[in-house]
Amino acid sequence: MITSKKLIDIENKYGAHNYKPLDVVLTKGSGIWVEDVEGKKYMDFLAAYSAVNQGHCHPRLVKVLHEQSARLALTSRAFRNDQLPLLAKELCELTGFEMMLPMNSGAEAVETAIKAARKWGYTVKGVEKNKAEIIVCDGNFHGRTITIISFSSEEQYRDGFGPLTPGFTMIPYGDIESLKKAINENTVAFLVEPIQGESGVVLPKEGFLREAAETCKQNNVLLIADEIQSGLGRTGMLFAYEHENVKPDMVIIGKALSGGMYPVSAVISSREVLGVFNPGDHGSTYGGNPVACAVAREALTIILDEKLIERSAELGKYLIGELRKIDSPHVDFYRGKGLWIGIVLTKAAGGARRFCEALQERGILAKETHENVIRIAPPLVITKEEIDQALVTIKAVLTQN
């Protein structure tokens, strides 16, 4: 048998070093559980950044992937297939939007939303050619393409990758006055994560999204919600924006749209906005392929059938309540919504990485974000018993290290 150590050496030699993963080499997964090549079992408390909300290797997704890939996998959009229309209809009916545009990765869907917003600005709002501006937030994460990193506030994401794409203005996250000030006649959109995931599960002040939606409406600016990580049940609602009772003009989804089975993303919006695309304006060879669409249809149905949204709300409330009872000198505070929790450590704690390594040692895989936050985001299929089991370990790690 090839050992973890050997596989890590091979990866380090032949794979580019653009990640710093925990040194655990996984080979199997089922539900919230994953197993490394030595046979050690772990609870997955990251869920592939919320792509695996439905749990690893969900049997229904495995079945659909098998069946659809054996029937028809890819036609390109030069021809039609029998899965795309059904995904489009089901997704629009579920979310209350009029149209969808399918892509593959999250970043591609963000790019699609940016293109739609700009073209809407020129053709509908009447912005002068090549003058469109989009407002974004400090601490954002929307992906890794050149255009997207151009408006990242993370120095490392941009450094060495210029020249960058112009046309973006940054405001502090959650600051409504700054949003109002930043809007001008060329502003076409405000792109925002309702809760910032990569920043460490950061919630804006209550009411911010509602006020932002009103401000956008008054100024004929599109509100674009990036729900790639926060959407599809993670926060205890289908979408995180529902906590504030708003309806964005465009919503970007990905990750859990396929339950971790396949890269599928989409932009959902109105006919007015997505209607700006004419044949030839935009596309993707794999976007909307039958395997992607069949898997996404099943992944959405699983969320509903297994009541994953309700589970996230209930169990999330329970988990954060129990975490708050842990008396640890290292924890500053806990924040989160649903089964999406940031454990914010004190400055003196010495960073979140060593706690994640201690958790790994004891059979829980979690990932630090931004040095001092441990992000807790298990698959939404987790049971209360499994949460109780995890709490024993988390408590030990937070109090004994």
Summarize as ranges the residues that interact with ligand PLP (CB under 6 A): 49, 105-107, 110, 141-143, 193, 197, 226, 228-229, 254
Q: What is the nearest approach in angstroms of ligand PLP to the Cβ of residue 50?
A: 7
Q: What is the nearest approach in angstroms of ligand PLP to the Cβ of residue 131?
A: 26
- Distance in angstroms (rounded) separating the CA atoms of residues 366 and 358: 10
Give the long-range contacts of residues 381-388, CB within 8 A, separation 24 or more. 381/31, 381/32, 381/54, 381/55, 381/58, 381/306, 381/308, 381/311, 382/31, 382/32, 382/311, 382/315, 382/339, 384/315, 384/318, 386/32, 386/43, 387/315, 387/318, 387/319, 387/322
- DSSP secondary structure code for residue 94 in this structure: H
* C-alpha 161: how far from chain center: 24
- DSSP secondary structure code for residue 122 in this structure: I
Q: Is the peptide bond before 172 cis (omega within 30 degrees of 0)?
A: no
Does residue 223 contact residue 194 with C-beta atoms inside 8 Å? no
Pull the structure tokens for residue 392: 């024993």
When the beta carbons of 109 and 387 are compared against ligand PLP, the nearer one is 109
Cβ-proximal residue to ligand PLP, closest one: 106
When the beta carbons of 234 and 330 are compared against ligand PLP, the nearer one is 234
When the beta carbons of 81 and 229 are compared against ligand PLP, the nearer one is 229
When the beta carbons of 36 and 368 are compared against ligand PLP, the nearer one is 368
Q: What is the nearest approach in angstroms of ligand PLP to the Cβ of residue 311?
A: 21
Q: What is the nearest approach in angstroms of ligand PLP to the Cβ of residue 270?
A: 21
Supply the residues annotated as catalytic: 141, 226, 255
Q: What is the nearest approach in angstroms of ligand PLP to the Cβ of residue 229?
A: 3
When the beta carbons of 105 and 150 are compared against ligand PLP, the nearer one is 105
